[in-house]
Copies of this chain bind each other. A is one copy, B any other.
């Protein structure tokens, strides 16, 4: 079952203790697509600017990602510049953001893609996410990610949107900010009351908490020693999660546990390289090898 992702496709400048990279392919939809492509056919919708390098487009297509609904707007591509300091890879310091074509240009989904059964609304303005969701015809499974910026500035839009999605992924800080609950179990329960029946709270190096009405579980992260660049780890995680759920076509406990383990595994590769360097060269054989290690690491 194919999967449509909407979010940002960006140009990233990133500085970490391991080095500096400029004009990398970045953005929530790019990172998501790079991991979900391992499990299912992925269609990407986003708006880029006239300056978006052809090599990035070719690269995405070579990875099997359908770009029929990638709009090229008048103006510049969304840019993010960030830094991670030594011994604090959990905090991304945003040095600059240039919205470019994200202001004023409309994203779309081509008619032949509007009945794709699985949709993921990766991090971007919740009003834009709602716009894309309205274009889709009765999707089977809708996932949503957001960030503190929208929680702070577009809370009503985000909460309206949450009523229409099945799966919500948030990091621990976002879960706390959106619910006002310090305790993550309580926060997860409150997020569920906002609408989505499946709640995934990502805790970075500390792993994941999953909550639904009938069961919950928590898994640790894969133990990565050499973190290079965590940008996009959450999007990569969401890509693995949704990708596997599309492949397995089930939403029971076994499927969801396995989806979270896949997601954790692909996210661990993401942080080991700059941008999509590690995830874009990944295959399922290597994912399965690391997944087996992870399962041994976490099995009681």
Contacts and interface: CB of A to CB of B under 8 A. Distances in A.
Nearest to A188: B223
A299 B297 contact: no
A225 B206 CA distance: 18
A184 interface: yes
B183 A298 contact: no
A216 interface: yes
A225 B257 CA distance: 22
Given A218-B297, A219-B300, A300-B299, A205 B225 contact: no
B223 A220 contact: no
A227 interface: yes
B181 A219 contact: no
A42 interface: no
B182 A298 contact: no
Contacts of A269: none
Q: How many chain copies does the complex carry?
A: 2
B182 A261 contact: no
A183 B225 contact: yes
A207 B182 contact: no
A56 interface: no
A240 to B, nearest CB: 15
A216 B220 CA distance: 12
A225 B186 contact: yes
Contacts of A224: 183, 185
A176 interface: yes
A86 B86 CA distance: 30
Interface in A24-62: none
Interface string A203-242: 1011101000000111111011101000000000000000
B182 A87 contact: yes
A120 interface: no
